[in-house]
Structure 1
Amino acid sequence: MAAICLASSFLILFIEVPLLLRICPTSSKFDNIIRKITTNYMRAAAYAGMALPQWLTLLDGGSPTSLIAAAVFLTLTGICYLLAGIKGQAFVGSKTLGGAGVAQMIV
């Protein structure tokens, strides 16, 4: 399960820092999947999907590990994105992290 947690950390980087899609060599299929995660609801679902395997580690009967921290923070982030979607708050991108206007900054 730690490998899934590590993989989800890279996924979070690409979701939250869109500039990485421009500078890292990734497949077009991966880029399209990441670009679909734009709304607050999609981000909440993505974070819930990444938190679920971490919570499932508690059900296997083993002793709790530090992956609980990952599960808690992924869940809290998903809840925050869900609340933002319910309140109707639009997602605000940052030029620093690769939001609107980055193409002009790179060229």
Structure 2
Amino acid sequence: MGIFDEFKSRNFSLYAQWLGVISIVLLIALGVIAFPSNPIFSPIGWYYKLPLCTKFCPTSPKFDGFIARFENSYFRGIMYLVFSIIMFLSTLVETTSLVAPAVTLLLTFISYGIAGIKNQPHASTKIFGGSGVDNVV
């Protein structure tokens, strides 16, 4: 199953993962650009994506078990909503380019919310080493 088949799958958890990746890129790139005019909120986007580093660093089974409790669409969606609100609040301080990642974070929240409501299992794209939607019913 290729990338286009994954997008045709109607698995909103997968859509949320892609939107999350777009959010990462926007938070880092636009956070650097907006840093001189908004030094408080720009780094918040960088800190938000620090858990991504745990994917690259070795962890213990105890830590992995703790994190596994939070691996559901509702929790992920709430976290994206919280950071979307934070990024939207940053535009009250000064209108910056941080509104773009705020929108993608909000869209990610909506996608995870729909995945939770539809009881869709978490799927990860094959592009990033996941199993795709081949095994997801």
Counterpart of 1:54? Answer: 87
Could you give the per-residue CA deviations for residues 45-100 of structure 1, whole angstroms, max 9, x where no partner exists?
A: 1111221210111223x2x11111110001100110001111121112467249xx
Counterpart of 2:6? Answer: none
Q: Do structure 1's residue 78 and structure 2's residue 109 form an aligned pair?
A: yes
Counterpart of 1:103? Answer: none
Structure 1 residues 65 and 31: alpha-carbon distance in aligned structure 2, compared to 1, 3 A threshold: farther
Q: Which has the higher contact order (CA 8 A, sep 6+)?
A: 2
Aligned residues: 90
Q: Which runs of 5+ in 1 are unaligned?
A: 99-107
Structure 1 residues 28 and 72: alpha-carbon distance in aligned structure 2, compared to 1, 3 A threshold: farther
Q: Which runs of 5+ in 2 are unaligned?
A: 1-40, 132-137
CA distance in 2, matches of 1:47, 1:83: 13
Deviation at 1:9, TM superposition (A): 2.5
Counterpart of 1:4? Answer: 44
Q: Is the 8 A contact 2:123 2:130 kept in 1?
A: no
Counterpart of 2:71? Answer: 38
Q: Which moved more, 1:89-98 or 1:51-60?
A: 89-98
Equivalences for residues 79-94 of structure 1 within 5 A: 79-93=110-124
> Does the residue aligned with 1:38 lie in a helix, a strand or coil?
coil
Kindly report the root-mean-square deviation, in angstroms, between the aligned alpha carbons of the 2 structures.
Answer: 3.0
TM-score by length of 2: 0.52
Q: Is the 8 A contact 2:87 2:99 kept in 1?
A: yes
TM-score by length of 1: 0.65
